[in-house]
Structure 1
Amino acid sequence: MTPTRTPVRRPARQLLAASVGNAVEWYDWYAYTFLATYIAGQIFPKGSGNSLVPLLSTFAVFAVGFFMRPVGGLLMGAIADRHGRRAALTVTILLMGGSSLLVGLTPTYATAGVLAPVILVAARLLQGLSVGGEFAASTTFLVESAGPGRRGLFSSFQYVSTTAGQLAASGIAAALVASLGTGQMEGWGWRVPFVLGAVLSLVGFWIRRGAQETLPDIGSGTGQPRPGLFDALRRHPRESLLICGITAGGTLAYYTWTSYLPTYAELNAGLTKADALLASTLSLAFFALLQPLGGVLSDRYGRKPLLLFFGLGFAVLSVPLLRSIGGFGTLLLAQCAGMVLLTGFTSISAAVNAEMFPARVRAAGIGFPYSLTVALFGGTAPYVGTLFKDMGHPGLFPWYVSALCLVSSVVYLRLPESAHKELER
C-alpha cells in the first residue's frame, strides 16, 4: 500500500509551530555565544590551578559544533521518520529548554570546582544534539505542511525564525549589559537569558503539541517497516552526497556573513567592536525580511535559478566584497549585498533538501549529511579565517569562500528542477 497523509488543515498553525519553536531553539543556542565571556569568568577561571579546566573549556567550545550536531541530525531525524515529525519537534524543544536551564543553573567554579565546567559541557552537548535534530525535523515538517506551489515560501521561514532567535539573543544580552553593572552581570545577570530560554521552550512546546502530523502512516497497515537508523544513507547515497555539495558553499557563506564578518572587519579593517556588531545587527534584520521573497520567487521560477544566483554571485563577488570593507559604511554595504546573494540559498535550502528524499527517510536523509557539512565548513569558518590571518595571509580567506561557492555551483548546475514536482510521499 502507498503511504498517504491527511491534507494539512491549518497551514498557518503549522508555520507558527515550526517557526516559533525554531526561533526559541536558536535563541538558546546564540545566548551562549553572546554571553560566553561572562560564563568563562565564572566557570573557567584563569589561574584555577587545575589542568582539567582549560581542557574542558576547549572541549565546550568545539565539541558541540563538530560532533553533536551531526549526531543530533541523525538521531532526531530517525525519530522523525519512525515516530513522526511532531514527536521529534517535541523532543528537540524540550531538550533545548532543559539544557538551557542547566546552563542557567550551572554552579560557579568557586562553588563546585571542576564539576562546574563538566555540567556546562554536558549542557552544551545536549544543546548541540537538539540544534542538529531541529533542522532535520523542522525543515521536513515545514515543507510537508506547505500547500501546492508554496514549499519554497514555507521553507524560507526556517531562516526567518533562525535569524529572529539570533537577534532576540543579541538584543536581550545587550539590554542586560547596558542595564546591569559588570559585577551583577558576572554574578547573576548572565544566567537570566538561559532561564528565560527555558520558559520560552515551554511556550514552543505548547504550540507544537497542537500541530498536525505530516508523516504518512508508515509501519501501520501499509506493509512497510519503519526505517532503520542508516536507511537513508544506505538506500540514497547519491542524494546524501548531493546535500553535502549543495550545503558546503552555502554554510560557509552563511557563517561568514552572519557570524564571522564582524570579527573579520575588526581584524582586517580596524573597525571597533561596537560598529562591527551594529552593522551585523542591521544586516541580519534585512536578511530576515528577504527570506520570504526568495521562497516565493523559487516557487514561481524554480530552485535552480536562485541557487545559481547565490553560488555564482559569491564565487565572483566574495573577494571584492570582503576587500571593500574599510569602515562602517562599507561593512554595512558589503554585508547587505552578501545577504541578498545568500538569500538564494537560505530561503530554499529546506525545500531543495526535502524534495530529494521520500517521506519514509526524509528527516534522517537531510539531518546527517546537512549537519555534518555545516560542522566541517560552516562551523570552522571563523577558525579558518583567523588561521589565515595568523599565517600572514588574510587575503586568502575571501578566495576560500569564493572557491567553495564555485564548487557548490557546479552541483547546482547538475541538479534536476524540483519546484513544480509533487513531493514524494
Structure 2
Amino acid sequence: MALEAKRLRAIIGGSAGNLVEWYDWYAYSALSLYFSASFFPKGDPTAQLLNTSAVFAVGFFMRPIGAYVMGRYADRHGRKAGLAVSVALMCAGSLMIAFTPTYATIGLAAPILLLVARLLQGLSVGGEYGASATYLSEMATRRHRGFWSSFQYVTLIGGMLSALAVTLLLQAVFTKAQMDSFGWRIAFVLAAVLALGVYLLRRGLAETASFQALSADRPASGMAALWRAHPREFLLVGAITAGGSLAFYAYTTYMQKFLANTVGFSVQSATAIMTAALVVFMLVQPLFGALADRVGRKPMLLLFGIGGAIVSVPVFSALESVRTPGAAFAIVLVPLLLLAAYTSISALVKAELFPAHIRALGVAFPYAIGNAAFGGTAEYVALSLKGWHIESAFYWYVSAMLALTSVCFWLLPETRAASLIVED
C-alpha cells in the first residue's frame, strides 16, 4: 500500500508541470489583448519588433533548445532534477511577467524583460515534455504504463481549461479598464504560485529505478550519441510527432477559431463548445491508456492515424454547414476521440524506444522539432489558406499528414513487448 501511494505521488508530481505549462501558455494567449499595449506601444517601432521576435523565439527556437539542454540534464543528473529545474524556470518566467513594469514606467526595458521571461518559459516548455514523459514511463508498472502515462495529457488539457476558467473569472470580476491596468497580472501570479507548489512537490519525489541503475561510466547523452546509436528512432519520433502535433493543434486550438470564423458561431458559443469537448477529451485519456495496456500500442496509434486521415476532411466539411452547438459538439468529438488514442500513449511509446542513459533527450529533442515544424505552424497554415480562399486545402493537409504518419506508426516496434524500460 505504501509503495502504491508513493507511486501515485510520483505520477502526480511528474505530470503536474504540464498543467502549469499549458495554463501559462493559454493565459498568455488569452490575456495578451489586455497587456500588449502596456509593453508594445504602437508609437515605438523597436518595441513592436521585440513583440514579433518574442513570439518567434519562444515558439520556434527556444523549445528545441530547451529540449536538448534539459534532456541532457535529465539524462546526466536524474529525472527528478530535470523536473525540478523545468518547473523552476516556469515559476521565474511567470513572476517576471506578473511584476514587470509597463513601457510607460521603464521604457524599452519592459518589452525586453517580457522577452526574457518568455525565453525562460520556452526553455522550460521544451524540457518539460521529455523529463516528465521519461519520469512517468519509468515510474509506472509494466502492466499499467499506458494508464499512468496518460495523465501527462490529463494535466496538459487541465492546464488549458484552468487558464480558460481563470480568464473568464477575471473578466467577470474586473472591468475592461481594470483588466488593462492590473487584472491580467493576477493570472500570472497564480501561475507562479502553481509552479512553486509543483517545484516543492517535485523536490520530494523519488528518483526512478531506471536512472538509479545506470553506472557512473555510462555513455554520454548528446546529439552525436543519439544520432549515431538511434537514427531510426530519432526520425520516427520526429515524424510521428509531426502528424500528432498537427492533429492536436488542428482539433483543439484552431478548431475554436474555425467554429467562430468559418462556421459562424459567436466567440462565446465556440468557446463553450470547445470547453465541453476538451473536458471529454481530458477524461478519456486514462481509458485509452488502459486500453493500450491490453491491446498494445500500435493498434491504438494506427486507430488514430488511419482514423484521423479518414475523418479529417468530412469533419471539417460537415462543420461548415452546422448551425446548432449540440451538433457541432458531437462532430468535434469524433476527431478528438481518435486523437486520444495517440495522446494517451504518445510520450510512453517514445520513452520505450530509447535506453535509459539517453532516454530523456531521445524523447524530448525530436519531439520538439516535429512539434515546432508542424504543430506550431498549424494555425498559420490554416489561416493562410483561408486568406487565399482555399481553406479546404487545410483539411486535406491534415488528412495527408496523418496518412504519412500512419506509415511511421506501422514501422514502429510494438513497444509493449519490446520496451527498453526494463524495470517495474
- Normalising by structure 1, we get a TM-score of 0.95
2:41 aligns with: 45
Q: Distance in 2 between matches of 1:334 and 1:422?
A: 36
CA gap of 1:115–1:275, structure 2 versus 1, over 3 A, is same
CA gap of 1:362–1:113, structure 2 versus 1, over 3 A, is same
Number of residue equivalences: 416
Q: Distance in 2 between matches of 1:30 and 1:9?
A: 32
CA gap of 1:239–1:225, structure 2 versus 1, over 3 A, is closer
Q: Distance in 2 between matches of 1:422 and 1:57?
A: 44
Larger mean Cα displacement after TM superposition, 400-409 or 415-424: 415-424
CA gap of 1:8–1:77, structure 2 versus 1, over 3 A, is farther
Q: Distance in 2 between matches of 1:148 and 1:346?
A: 19
2:301 aligns with: 307
CA gap of 1:55–1:16, structure 2 versus 1, over 3 A, is same
Q: Distance in 1 between matches of 2:262 and 2:109?
A: 39
Q: Distance in 2 between matches of 1:68 and 1:346?
A: 23
1:289 correspondence with 2:277 = no
Deviations, residues 168-218 of structure 1 (Å, cap 9, x unaligned):
111001100111000110000000010111111111011111111114247
1:122 Cα deviation from its structure 2 partner = 1.2
1:402 Cα deviation from its structure 2 partner = 0.3
2:408 aligns with: 411
1:29 correspondence with 2:25 = yes
Structure 2 counterpart of 1:269, which letter?
Answer: V
2:338 aligns with: 341
Q: Is the 8 A contact 1:218 1:360 kept in 2?
A: no
1:180 correspondence with 2:174 = yes
Q: Is the 8 A contact 2:353 2:419 kept in 1?
A: no
2:74 aligns with: 80
Deviations, residues 231-265 of structure 1 (Å, cap 9, x unaligned):
22332111100001211111001011111111112
Q: Is the 8 A contact 1:268 1:394 kept in 2?
A: no
Q: Is the 8 A contact 1:101 1:194 kept in 2?
A: yes
Q: Is the 8 A contact 2:64 2:365 kept in 1?
A: yes
Report % sequence identity: 46
- Could you tell me which of 348, 354, 369 is aligned with 1:372? 369
Deviations, residues 24-76 of structure 1 (Å, cap 9, x unaligned):
22212221111111121211122x2x221221111122221111111111111
Structure 2 counterpart of 1:136, which letter?
Answer: G
- Could you tell me which of 151, 169, 182 is aligned with 1:157? 151
1:210 correspondence with 2:207 = no
Q: Distance in 1 between matches of 2:91 and 2:227?
A: 30
Q: Distance in 1 between matches of 2:306 and 2:168?
A: 36
CA gap of 1:278–1:61, structure 2 versus 1, over 3 A, is same
Q: Is the 8 A contact 2:222 2:361 kept in 1?
A: no
1:57 aligns with: 51
1:137 correspondence with 2:134 = no
2:118 aligns with: 124
Q: Distance in 1 between matches of 2:78 and 2:162?
A: 29
SS of the counterpart of 1:216?
helix
SS of the counterpart of 2:143?
coil
SS of the counterpart of 2:205?
coil
2:102 aligns with: 108
CA gap of 1:94–1:177, structure 2 versus 1, over 3 A, is same
**5+ residue gaps in structure 2?**
none
1:227 correspondence with 2:215 = no
- Could you tell me which of 237, 258, 262 is aligned with 1:264? 258
SS of the counterpart of 1:87?
helix
Q: Is the 8 A contact 2:256 2:274 kept in 1?
A: yes
Q: Is the 8 A contact 1:8 1:145 kept in 2?
A: no
2:383 aligns with: 386
2:417 aligns with: 420
1:363 correspondence with 2:363 = no
Q: Distance in 1 between matches of 2:97 and 2:225?
A: 35
Q: Distance in 1 between matches of 2:278 and 2:56?
A: 25
CA gap of 1:108–1:265, structure 2 versus 1, over 3 A, is same
Structure 2 counterpart of 1:339, which letter?
Answer: L
1:390 Cα deviation from its structure 2 partner = 0.8
Q: Distance in 1 between matches of 2:228 and 2:159?
A: 35
Q: Distance in 2 between matches of 1:375 and 1:225?
A: 29
Q: Distance in 1 between matches of 2:300 and 2:76?
A: 33
Q: Is the 8 A contact 2:131 2:360 kept in 1?
A: yes
Deviations, residues 258-307 of structure 1 (Å, cap 9, x unaligned):
11111112221122111111111111111000100010000100011111
1:130 Cα deviation from its structure 2 partner = 0.3
SS of the counterpart of 1:158?
helix
Q: Distance in 1 between matches of 2:207 and 2:183?
A: 39
1:421 Cα deviation from its structure 2 partner = 3.6
1:229 Cα deviation from its structure 2 partner = 5.1
- Could you tell me which of 247, 262, 279 is aligned with 2:241? 247
Q: Distance in 1 between matches of 2:63 and 2:4?
A: 30
Q: Distance in 2 between matches of 1:334 and 1:228?
A: 44
Structure 2 counterpart of 1:283, which letter?
Answer: A
1:8 Cα deviation from its structure 2 partner = 8.6
- Could you tell me which of 7, 12, 17 is aligned with 1:16? 12
1:225 Cα deviation from its structure 2 partner = 4.4
1:422 Cα deviation from its structure 2 partner = 4.6
Q: Distance in 1 between matches of 2:421 and 2:340?
A: 25
Q: Is the 8 A contact 1:264 1:385 kept in 2?
A: no
More helix by share: 2
